[in-house]
Amino acid sequence: MWVAKIMYKHDCILGNRCRKFKVNLQSVAFSVFKEQGRFITSSMHYMSGKKNDMDRFVKDLALDKNVIRLERKEDVFLLLEKADSKAVKFFTPKIIFIKPVLVTSDGYETWEIASWEKEQVSKFVGNVKKEFKNSKLMKFHNVKIDNVYFPRLMPNLSARQKQAIELAIQEGYYKIPRKIDLRKLAEIMGVALATYEQHLRVAEEKLIPNLLSYS
């Protein structure tokens, strides 16, 4: 299977606000169609960041003239929007998304797509690069099936477990070498070291088997 990873930035109602409010998104597009010359996209988005920043993000997004419908439950929101140009418009039935689209707090979107046909991936990448000048192809190669990520539903994390794991990721705890230790993470979160360790371990216990498809 041919896989490509492409990163780009453009004038987007989501990317602009991710940059403004320091929020990150994991996004999945459900459908896209053209109506009266504009692209209509239905999508789901999982937010990470500080609660106040996420609240301001959604409140500001709801006021955007391009938003048709918006429904939120905690850290997830469903969006129906209209736009003059969207990368998802280049999607074809021969293209699959092997990871959620990432929209980071610097405003960049990262897409990973795949197809059995190399020319389908090449065409998608070429269209995105032509449409959005601020883009970069990160990888484009043929991989075996065991290298393809199959997304699953996120496990049910408590608010504190979610906060603990997101903080660890954001502060570089999982980088090599580590950028921070557990004691400092506990201080940032405002809890005792033992409490933080417990939240993080439970979150990892839920997340890691889920990622690896173990029961």
Read off the pLDDT of residues 33-78 as tens digits, 9 standing for 90 and up: 888 888 899 999 999 888 999 999 999 999 999 999 999 988 899 9
Q: Provide the token pair at 87.
A: 């990368």
CA–CA separation, 48 vs 162, rounded Å?
9
Residue predicted with more confidence, 90 or 43: 43
What pLDDT, on a 0 to 100 scale, did the predictor assign at position 206? 78
Domain ranges for the chain: 2-147, 159-211
Render pLDDT for 183-207 as a digit per residue (tens, 0 to 9).
999 999 999 999 999 999 998 887 7
Please give, one letter per residue, the 3-state secondary structure of 25-74: EEEEEEEEEEECCEEEEEEEEEEECCHHHHHHHHHHHHCCCCEEEEEEEC
- For 98-151, what is each residue's pLDDT tens digit? 888 899 999 999 998 899 999 999 999 999 898 888 899 999 999 875 555 544
Q: What is the pLDDT of residue 211?
A: 53
Strands 135-142, 2-8: pairing kind: antiparallel
Q: Report the phi/psi class of residue 190: left, alpha or beta, with left for phi > 0 and alpha for psi in -120 to 50.
A: left
User: What is the model's pTM?
Assistant: 0.70
Q: Residue 215's pLDDT band (boundaries 50, 70, 90)?
A: very low
* Residue 99 CB-half CA count within 13 A: 17
